[in-house]
Amino acid sequence: MFCPTTLILDGIFGRPARFGPLRRLLESTCGPTEVFHYNSTGFVRFEELAKRLCHRIEEIGQPVNLLGFSMGGIVIRTAHLLRPSLPIRRAVFLNSPHAGSRLAYVMPLAAGVRQLWPGSALMRQLDQADWAIPTLVTWCPFDAAIIPGHSANWPKATESIRCPFPLHTWVVGSPRIHQRIATFLGESEDERQRVNETANTEYCPATMSNARLTVQH
């Protein structure tokens, strides 16, 4: 049975140890899982970070799942922008600023952070790029780090989970979000097709801690 490797990319000033519980869950349910370490200071341009990610995926030599928190999600999308043929099986973006964040204006000297300014050249390139990979995103309308919050609600995603808490890092530690990620990454394409055929919008207070789960077609 094929068990794809899952790579986890933390956000700016990352603390990868906080992904321990999620990593262990994914290892037990989906297959090999590792944290991809990169320069998350915001001072390195995304193209350089993405090249390193492309190299790691090529080393693995088979389709991978990619999970990016915040800035990590933009590293993943930039890698796909540079190499559209990368063998990405599924992707998860946790509160990533797909349309940029106004908070990035507070670090004007950081080359990477400047690329997160809304309307930057990179944001425009990413917006225009094709994306046909099954993708789960989380977002919060009141996210204090992603401004405006709906910047993380990416229209090209397969599923979008609206989180009720304004804490940017809440999704990193939420066991219920972890379970949804594990289910999504573990689904076969046949299972995903059945979900798409039967689900539209579902409110799941018991399973998603009052998050709103929207399945987009």
**Over the stretch 71-121, which tens digit does the pLDDT of each residue have?**
999 999 999 999 999 999 999 999 999 999 999 999 999 999 999 999 999
* Predicted pLDDT of residue 1: 64
- Sheet containing 159-162, strands listed edge to edge, beginning at the edge strand earlier in sequence: 33-35, 5-9, 64-69, 88-94, 135-139, 159-162, 212-215, 201-203
Q: Say which CATH class 5-215 falls into.
A: alpha beta
* Predicted pLDDT of residue 214: 43
Q: Which positions ≥6 away from 161 have C-beta within 8 Å? A: 136, 137, 138, 139, 177, 180, 208, 211, 212, 213, 214
Q: What are phi and psi of 8, to 5 degrees?
A: -105, 130
Domain boundaries, the chain: 5-215
Average pLDDT on 195-216 reads 38
